[in-house]
Amino acid sequence: MYNKIEEAGKFLRDKIGDVSLDFAIILGSGLGKLQHEIEAEHSIAYEEIPHFPKTTVAGHTGRLIVGQLEGKKVMLMSGRFHYYEGYNMQEVTFPVRVFHYLQIPNLIVSNASGGVHRSFKVGDVMVITDHINFFPEHPLRGANDDKLGPRFPDMSVAYDKEFIQIMNQVAKDQKIRLQHGVYFGLQGPTFETPAEYGMVRTLGADAVGMSTVPEVIVARHQGMRVAAISVITDLGGPEIAFPVSHEEVLNAAKVAMPNVIKIVRGLVQKV
């Protein structure tokens, strides 16, 4: 795998030149608007990049955008790879391997998720403080490459405490209602049944979604610092039995977008 990472990394290095990058950002469902906040210097289609997984959604090529945000250099993934699309975990997390190869020290991940905490409302923004990995496949399964990270990575502090503090301060300054919670990663693509939302709550999580956990595990394997933000796009629990739709998720994400942008901007500026 290292050779593939190296080829993709060298290709990107050639394109973007010898700049040092401060942040990698992965955008979640309905959160694409954030990419327009970046003063783009390069926009590279995934299909150009050696060994990058091919996107499955027709007419929707993902792109890596490199540019300035709050005076920092960022590399942003517009379009991510979900496990439910059929990629294996090495494919889902390949971009994060390449970010590390490019010596990007920090990762910001965003997603849409279903809230199971009783005080959450649709449109809330939640800082992820921890996660529970319930994906059926682990991204670090198989032979470990010590060049990438240790065999048994510590996960006691997966989400950087200083980043969380900064996001709290930004939310306070800008009067954004900010939730904190544990994210539960499931493979999807079905939304959860009321009983499953109940299970997620009983097992100690506050929100559930179909992404993020694999990328965060791989980022931590490589020692990257991670911040993750979830938009609560729908609510679930055994007491709630109304349907969830993809449209509803996208709409709620759109409504919460200005707050997500403020928090990401604030974090990038202050680190």
> Residue numbers of the site for ligand HPA (CB under 6 A)?
112-114, 191-192, 208-210, 233-234, 236, 244, 249
Q: For residues 77 and 210, which CB has a smaller minimum distance to ligand HPA in the complex?
A: 210
Q: For residues 237 and 266, which CB has a smaller minimum distance to ligand HPA in the complex?
A: 237
User: Smallest gap, in angstroms, from Cβ of residue 109 to ligand HPA?
Assistant: 14
User: Smallest gap, in angstroms, from Cβ of residue 184 to ligand HPA?
Assistant: 9
Residue 7 Cα distances to 103, 144, 185, angstroms: 15, 19, 30
Q: Cα(252)–Cα(232) distance, rounded to whole angstroms?
A: 8
| 160 neighbors 225 (Cβ within 8 angstroms) | yes
Q: What DSSP string runs through 16-28?
A: H-SPPP-EEEE--
By the 10 Å C-beta count (0-12 exposed, 13-18 middle, 19+ buried), 179 is classed as buried
Q: For residues 114 and 266, which CB has a smaller minimum distance to ligand HPA in the complex?
A: 114
Q: For residues 56 and 103, which CB has a smaller minimum distance to ligand HPA in the complex?
A: 56
Q: For residues 91 and 234, which CB has a smaller minimum distance to ligand HPA in the complex?
A: 234
| 263 neighbors 229 (Cβ within 8 angstroms) | yes
Q: For residues 49 and 217, which CB has a smaller minimum distance to ligand HPA in the complex?
A: 217
User: Smallest gap, in angstroms, from Cβ of residue 193 to ligand HPA?
Assistant: 11
Among 102, 97, 101, 46, CA closest to 73: 102
Residue 97 Cα distances to 20, 44, 151, 217, 251, angstroms: 16, 17, 16, 11, 31
Q: 65 Cβ partners below 8 Å, 6+ apart?
A: 35, 38, 40, 42, 43, 44, 75, 76, 78
User: Smallest gap, in angstroms, from Cβ of residue 144 to ligand HPA?
Assistant: 30
User: Smallest gap, in angstroms, from Cβ of residue 78 to ligand HPA?
Assistant: 18
User: Smallest gap, in angstroms, from Cβ of residue 216 to ligand HPA?
Assistant: 16
Q: Cα(60)–Cα(79) distance, rounded to whole angstroms?
A: 8
Q: Which residue is nearest to ligand HPA (CB)?
A: 114
